[in-house]
Amino acid sequence: MIEDKNQERTPLSHLGEFALIEHLTKNFRIKHTSTLKGVGDDAAVLDFKNKKVVLTTDLLVESVHFDLSYMPLKHLGYKAVIVNLSDVYAMNATPTQITVSIAVSNRFPLEALEDLYAGIETATNIYNVDLIGGDTTSSNTGLLISVTAIGEVEEGKEVYRDGAKPNDLLVVSGDLGGAYMGLQVLEREKEVYKVNPSSQPDLEPYTYIVERQLKPEARKDIVKLLNDLDVKPTSMIDISDGLSSEIIHLCKQSGVGCDLYEEKIPLDPAVISVCEEFNIDSTTVALNGGEDYELLFTISQEDFPKIKANPNFTVIGFMKEAESGMHLVTRSESKIPLKAQGWKNFNV
């Protein structure tokens, strides 16, 4: 499939651990004054002065979270960083540093790790973060990659999941369901390839959704925009597991209920058409799909005029008293309780 045809294969054993770390990290430049010491000592040293520090970590495991038969390593490196930065933005914070830890088997040549780190480097440049350390070890099975992201936020600007109030508006950035449908297309093409290895997949009609799956972005722009508009969300979360389960997190932690309007859920036309092709309900995909990395947040009604003309935002519902429960209001105006189906990883 999207295989790397690069023929050069330098075994990792030719370098040894220290030369490997040095080789992979030598291009990274420190960008933040808060990074006093990055890669190269026993620990990094940071100085955030009067800022609050946020920290988040994620572990990605081959064949659980990614499939290298259609995930190019460069994209994997990029995505592993993005999923963490998204969590930092969801706190209304700005990411500043990352660490990257990998466990690799010797089936990976040096060139494969160079690709992985090229993706990591691209993400650090686009999102303006410093690579300040990590760990490197061997694995007897698949590839593991763990990224930790550190960010800063001015005191009082941090946004938690637990601040939503009844009557607050529920708002989402971007559109939903694309990453999940991109995955469905890639899985389908993988099955076709298994049966007929000479087949050439035509992914061109699916560019948008395949990119949503393979090369997601974190909504740095939304955090800036909200700040520029002088809107501080009352609660916020990033959408990694599907709209439904994220809404439930906000509601449960805030002690509120919610009405979500099916007709308001933002869907890209490409998602609608591929849902028709796969005969899947697009609302179900938006509710349970996951990996969109959009931001879901609540704002008080008085902030509505500040966001209402902005195409980046869609008001999809409003919060209620906890006793009202959490519901999807369908197009036919019936009410269905929201369920947290969550993401696929624990369905194995």
Please report, as ranges, the residues that interact with ligand ADP according to CB under 6 A. Answer: 21, 25, 39-42, 100-102, 131, 133-136
Which partner, Mg ion, ligand ADP, none, binds residue 41 by CB below 5 to 8 Å per kind?
Answer: ligand ADP
| Residue 185: CB minimum distance to ligand ADP, A | 32
Q: Name the residue whose CB lies closest to Mg ion.
A: 135
Both structure tokens of 10: 């330098």
CB of 199 to Mg ion, least distance (A): 43
Site string for Mg ion, 116-145 (x = CB under 5 A): -------------------x----------
Q: Give least dist CB 25 to ligand ADP, A.
A: 5
In the complex with Mg ion, the residue whose CB is nearer, 4 or 135, is 135
- Region of residue 279 (left: phi > 0; alpha: psi -120 to 50; beta: else): left
**CB of 6 vs Mg ion, minimal distance in Å:** 28
Contacted by 280, from Mg ion, ligand ADP, none: CB < 5 to 8 Å by type? none
Q: Are 74 and 115 in contact (CB under 8 A)?
A: yes
257: partner contacted, choices ligand ADP, Mg ion, none (Cβ within 5-8 A by kind):
none
Q: Which is nearer to ligand ADP, 25 or 288 (CB)?
A: 25
Pure H helices in the chain? 17-25, 73-89, 110-126, 178-195, 207-214, 220-228, 243-254, 269-278, 282-288, 304-307
The closest alpha carbon to 45, from 56, 36, 33, 32, belongs to 36
Closest CA to 297 of 243, 241, 228, 343: 243
Residues with Cβ < 8 Å from 202, sequence gap 6 or more?
Answer: none
Residues in a beta bridge with 297? 171, 236
Helix (H, G, I), strand (E, B) or coil at 55: strand
Closer residue to Mg ion, CB minimum distance, 88 or 103: 103
User: How many residues touch Mg ion (CB under 5 A)?
Assistant: 1
Give which of 78, 102, 89, 336 is closest to 226, Cα–Cα: 89
**Partner from Mg ion, ligand ADP, none contacting 300, C-beta within 5 to 8 A by type:** none
Q: How far is the CB of 13 from ligand ADP (least distance, A)?
A: 17
* 315 DSSP assignment: E
Q: What are phi and psi of 11, to 5 degrees?
A: -60, 145
Q: How far is the CB of 338 from ligand ADP (least distance, A)?
A: 40
Q: Which does 275 bind (CB under 5 to 8 A by kind): Mg ion, ligand ADP, none?
A: none
List residues binding Mg ion (CB under 5 A).
135
